[in-house]
Amino acid sequence: MLIGLLLGIVVAVGLVYGNRPLRFLLCLYVWFFRGVPVLVLLFLFYFGLFTYLNLPFNALISVSLVLGMTTGAYQANIFKGAILALPRGQFKAACALGMSNAQAIRSVILPQALRLSIPAWSNEYSIILKDSALAFVIGAPEIMARTQFVASRTYQHLSLYLIAGLLYFFLTWLGVAALRRLERRARIPGYTHYDTQ
């Protein structure tokens, strides 16, 4: 999620404020990682690109990079939408006060856009957490891999997979609840549904 957050912010800023060639390249990145299934990406990078480039990444690092780049593409669209939801005059006003474009984006636009992105970001958190279960197909040591390892030796498949499902459910619930609390604390008056209730 952290890799995706950093990538998403940079890509979103580039999509909104970048020149045409940069926007085209960033659109290709978003299109590719949103259009190809995560399982295919895992095989493509772990057994393909990383091996071809002779990069000594183990399964866990490979999965983290692939999931990070995948969620980065989704988060880029989340942050782009949040940036475009802000009044355009704010950027112009910041520049009129003497800020550079980078300062205006960093100090005025992004703090508001990130706050507006929290609800959609919490949804992306739950999706990428569940997608991480696919990591067991390349041998990454995560919940499903450990469950499969123990189940193949104890033959307690039903109970073990039920526990694994409950673990994913608990982690999803915990993260979404924390993000909802953050959303309430960081909300901008007039921009959220809390202000209409």
CA–CA gap between residue 96 and residue 4 (Å, rounded): 32
What pTM did the predictor assign?
0.82
Residue entry with tokens 């299109």: 31
Instruction: Give the type of residue at 156.
Output: Q
Structure tokens at 109: 């636009």
Residues 6+ apart with CB under 8 A from 120: 78, 81, 82
- Output the pLDDT for position 155: 81
Residue 188 predicted with pLDDT over 70: no
Residue 196 predicted with pLDDT over 50: no
pLDDT (average), residues 92-121 = 86
pLDDT, mean over the chain: 86
Most confident by average pLDDT, 34-43, 116-125, 140-149 = 34-43
Distance of CA 1 to the CA centre of its chain: 5
Structure tokens at 165: 């499902």
CA–CA gap between residue 64 and residue 67 (Å, rounded): 5
- Output the pLDDT for position 31: 95
CA–CA gap between residue 114 and residue 42 (Å, rounded): 29
End-to-end Cα separation, the chain, in angstroms:
31
Stronger pLDDT, 147 or 11, i.e. the higher one: 11
Q: How far is CA 21 from CA 25, 29, 187, in A?
A: 6, 13, 35
- Output the pLDDT for position 93: 86
Residue 157 predicted with pLDDT over 50: yes
Q: What is the pLDDT of residues 3-26, one digit of tens each?
A: 999 999 999 999 999 899 999 999
Q: What is the pLDDT of residues 72-93, one digit of tens each?
A: 999 999 999 999 988 888 888 8
Triad 70, 76, 81: Cα angle to 5°: 140
Residue 83 · residue 106 · CB < 8 Å = no
